[in-house]
Amino acid sequence: MWKTDFADESIEETVDKLKGLKPKLVVMEASGAFELPVAGVLAIYGLPFAIVNPRNVREFARAVGRGSRFDRTQAGLLAHFGELVDPQPRPLPDELIETLQHLRTRRDHVRQMLVLEREHLTATTPCLRNDIQRHIDFLEQNIATLNHKFNRAVRSSAAWR
């Protein structure tokens, strides 16, 4: 669970920085890691983004004389790709953005409950620990389900295709 919390915080920090920069376009590779939750959060905040095929970036890297696309300047390569190739952002429909907002809000509420239950677990009597641990397990599963629904909603959009 800790890794998910860390990823959520990193995504929020990144999007906060991007909001201040007001980018023309945020370019991400469809690498299978964090692009779905990032794209969803970008859409919620109204930032334009394009999810591009990694093969296209790899071919672009070769064309501009960059041997490895996995070096320290991957962000620079994607920025250069975005500047020259100019992939078109595909905004998500308003109803999908609303769905994403609801999923994210619900997940945040469940995460707050999880924090409280973890505090209760350490401060309770042994006779209640099993009950609280079962509730923690349920809440963690619920968060995973909400994350899956969020990612699936983004994947079903035109931005992904």
For 2-85, CATH gives 3.30.1330
pTM of the model: 0.81
Q: Which amino acid is at 126?
A: P
* Angle between helices 74-85 and 54-63 in degrees, nearest 10: 90
- The tens-digit pLDDT sequence of the chain (161 residues) is 434 555 777 888 989 999 999 999 999 988 876 889 999 999 999 999 999 999 999 899 888 887 655 555 778 889 999 999 999 998 899 999 999 999 999 999 999 999 999 999 988 889 999 999 999 999 999 999 999 999 999 988 877 76
What are the sequence ranges of the domains in the chain? 2-85, 94-155
Residue with tokens 């619900």: 106
Cβ burial 122-151 (10 Å sphere, 16+ → b, else e) = eeeeeeeeeebeeebeebbebbeebbeebb
